[in-house]
Amino acid sequence: MNPVCFDGRLGLLQRVLPAYRAPFFEALARSCQGGMSLFAGQPREEESILTTQEMRSARLFPARNVHFFSPSSPLYFCYQAGLISWLEDWNPGALIMEANFRYLSSPAGIHWMKKHRRPVIGWGLGAPLERGLLSGARRGFLGRFDAMISYSRRGAEQYVACGVPVDKIFVAPNAVAPAPTHPLPDRPVDFFAQPGLLFVGRLQARKRIPSLLRACARLPVELQPRLVIVGDGPEETNLRALAKEVYPLAHFAGEKHGDELDPYFREADLFVLPGTGGLAVQQAMSFGLPVIVAQGDGTQDDLVRPSNGWQIPAEDDAALLTCLRAALQDAARLRTMGAESYRIVAEEINLEKMVSVFVEALASVS
């Protein structure tokens, strides 16, 4: 049985503190008997990351992030001023940090912990192939961790390829919500009048909503869904104009949060995210929805499987149309897949499971 708590004092190092990650950090902090302090700075404005500066269960120590080049550039690096002062002040018994060698202050944090004979655990998406000097720098950086936590099995395989021993790697599938406390919604076997398709997210270019609108318009009339788009963002005006032109059946519900989203999930038959990002996928699954997502960095590989959804190639409009056509012509199949979505987030991938893996990793190095 996995340990339920870490009996020491934990330090956690993040480049930034996204608002969506706060519930996980709160839960992890409650599992640390000695308390937890989180060191994080601010993103660049163009990143459009919604951050939070409030933590109830953990102490938040602000870093001063110094960014070099654009975060989207392969030359991007970040230096976090104040790291050693934070470590000296908090004096953690163990440290978890993002395993990104582009964060220039992280080696100093590792050195401080090693000097005091305390373990350091890396946490990250994985280690996609780098060439030349960057490859050697990454391998050397990853080799300094006492254990590694990966968001996904794909990421774990990449760490192994970089030389991290298998027995030092823990997989904590990326979760943004707790296990559902509500029962699986009871949906009729057949669609009500027409299938319901739901999108939830920021209305921005990388979400590829124009492709979704055009794909719906190209479906046979009997399969065309009532498309509900929930969210706001810089592309809203353009998207409303495009929908009026190519797919008037689309309904824009505006920005919704928390419990406001529940009716939309309950009334839908299928959830789709044709672009990058996917914070609402787990929430959709908790309401028994099968999902269609674009392939990305591997964080959704464990969440979206052939038994509960589809992963389509990014930027592939033809694949999106083919997938929608196959999904919307079989209501009974969608109900079965939706039940599997619910099971996955109830039993396998949720905040509680994620916290337990972190605690397990901490126990392994303590």
Confidence (pLDDT) at 4: 77
Name the domain count of the chain: 2
What is the average per-residue pLDDT within 76-102?
Answer: 97
**Any domain includes 187:** no
Res 1: pLDDT = 40
Assess whether 148 and 17 both reside in one domain: yes
| Domain match, 245 and 297 both | yes
Asked whether residue 239 falls in the same domain as residue 341, the answer is yes
d(CA 227, CA 235): 17
Provide mean pLDDT across the span 75-101. 97
pLDDT at 133: 62
Q: Is residue 3 part of a domain?
A: no
Taking the C-alpha atoms of residue 72 and residue 49, their distance in angstroms, rounded to an integer, is 13
Q: What is the structure's pLDDT at 28? A: 97
Q: What is the pLDDT of residue 223?
A: 96
Query: Residue 344: how many CA atoms within 13 Å on its side-chain side?
Result: 29
Residue 299 scores a pLDDT above 80: no
Residue 95: inside a domain: yes
* 186 lies in some domain: no
The greatest distance separating any two alpha carbons of the chain, rounded to the nearest whole angstrom, comes to 68
Residue 295: its pLDDT value, please? 87
pLDDT digits (tens, 9 = 90+) for 324-343: 999 999 999 999 999 999 99
One domain, residues 331 and 358: no
This prediction has a pTM of 0.90
Domain membership of residue 220 (yes or no) is yes
Same domain, 64 and 40: yes
CB atoms within 10 A of CB 64: 11
Determine the pLDDT at residue 132: 59
39 and 169 share one domain: yes
φ and ψ at 68, to 5 degrees? Answer: -115, 120
Residues 19 and 143 in one domain: yes
Average pLDDT, the chain: 93
d(CA 37, CA 97): 12
> Is 366 within 8 Å of 8 (Cβ atoms)?
yes
Assess whether 295 and 359 both reside in one domain: no
- pLDDT band per the 50, 70, 90 thresholds, residue 18: very high
Which band of pLDDT confidence, cut at 50, 70 and 90, is reported for residue 129? low
Residues of the chain above pLDDT 90, percent: 83
Answer yes or no: is 60 within a domain: yes
**Are both 54 and 203 inside the same structural domain?**
no
CATH of the domain at 121: 3.40.50.2000
Are 151 and 228 in the same domain?
A: no
In angstroms, the CA 279 to CA 26 distance is 18
| 91 domain residue, yes or no | yes
**Residue 276 located in a structural domain:** yes
Gap between the Cα atoms of 40 and 83, Å rounded:
9
The verdict on 159 and 212 lying in the same domain is no
What domain range is 262 assigned to?
196-347
Q: Are 340 and 361 within one domain? A: no
Choice between 177 and 230, residue whose per-residue pLDDT is larger: 230
